[in-house]
Amino acid sequence: MIKRNFPLIVLFLVFLGLLDFIWQVTPYKAPLSQEDESAVAGPEKSRAFTGRMDMPNLDDIYVLDNSAGRDVEALEKYIQGRAAGLHWLGQEHFKKKGADDIRLGLHLVVDSLGIFTCKEILFSDADDEVFEQKLKDHIEYFWRYKKSENGVTDFWIPLRWKAKYSK
The answer to whether residues 118 and 104 touch, using CB atoms and an 8 Å cutoff, is no
Domain boundaries, the chain: 2-41, 52-162
Position 10 scores a pLDDT of 92
The string of pLDDT tens digits covering residues 27-41 is: 777 777 766 555 555
CATH number (1.10.3470, 3.40.390, 3.30.2420, 2.60.40) of 52-162 reads: 3.30.2420
**Residue type (1 letter), 9:** I
Indicate whether this model's pTM tops 0.75.
no
Query: In which band, very low, low, confident or very high, does the pLDDT at 43 lie, cut at 50, 70 and 90?
Result: very low
Closest CA to 59 of 136, 138, 156, 146: 156
Q: What distance in Å separates the CA atoms of residue 97 and residue 153, rounded to the nearest whole number?
A: 34
* Average pLDDT score over residue span 89-113: 83
Closest CA to 108 of 63, 55, 58: 63
Position 140 scores a pLDDT of 92
Of 44-48, 83-87, 156-160, give the lowest mean pLDDT range.
44-48
